[in-house]
Structure 1
Amino acid sequence: MKLRQFVFIATLLTAAAIAGSGPRSAGPAPVDSGPANAEPVSHTEVVDLNGLPDVEIGATEEELTARGILRADVDACGPLLTGHETVSPVFVDDRLVLLWAGEPMSTPEGVSAGSPVAEVRARYPAASRLDAPQGTYRFDGLLARRGDRAYLFLHDGEVVHKVITGYADWARRLFHEGHGPC
């Protein structure tokens, strides 16, 4: 993992922890459908276990740059996705392994930043609980895995602060090691 990725993930986790002390959003309207026949929430964009419609988990930096989706020409800690300003890509060995998704992004089941943790548990009943190390400013997590892919929901016990999607092993590693997209 690149040093810039480590630094950015650590920065995002710290910023998310600090942001968690402010006002809380009520979250999106409930969605009645389950994962098999889920409908996206109308006011959000959907990020699923495969990524975004034009940004696939597993794609290379070269592929995304050639298609004009990945931009490295801006003053940021890492590349940005054209048209997806609230989504940060995480690359390992030139492959996209994770996407950090902020508002207004949601899963097909309607879970986004600001969603109550109870809603996440209802939508993903098999999600594994991940406890942040004591004495850190990191969030707890819920890992909803399907095959080699997963959603990682970082939360403060009440609401989701960040939705991360991609390869399950990288999501778990990110949680335990505290890395980010830069």
Structure 2
Amino acid sequence: MSQGQHDDVDGVVAAWRRERPDLDVAPLEVLSRVSRLARHLDIARRQAFAEQGLESWEFDVLSALRRSGEPYQMTPGELLRQTLVTSGTMTNRLDRLADRSLVTRQASPTDRRAVIVTLTPQGRQVVDEAMESLLVGEREMLAALGAADRADLAGHLKRLLVAFEG
């Protein structure tokens, strides 16, 4: 951290060091900041999605379809794995997205028991605009870091995340 700059975590860490000098509270210096940044990111993402009339969960489903590439189709099971929700939750989400004409569902041409979810042109436009808005906000959040610092931070965070998801 730059000399002379302080954030709320500095106060929390200093207080714990004062009250419990026997504890190594160094992890708080990293993970409390990650936690606070995650809250700020969540707020910024909600705002970006709200500009397009989307909830975060709607963006998750639509963006999974969009990232799948032409013809922007997935099965509900594939969407479950992408968004980490239960089958019942996914069914409810797909119902709501279909009601808004952002996705369609039809029987698979190769297996009548299977369903194919397709991103509609309207859904594609909405998710593309939400993604553009999201990236503007995320660039602003990272503006305090230069390109090299962003790359270093991304690498460090990736190593931590791989340790959990590995």
Specify the structure having the higher radius of gyration (Cα).
2
Which of structures 1 and 2 has the larger relative contact order (alpha carbons within 8 angstroms, sep 6+)?
1
TM-score using structure 2 length: 0.27
TM-score using structure 1 length: 0.25
Q: Which structure's residues are more often helix, by fraction? A: 2
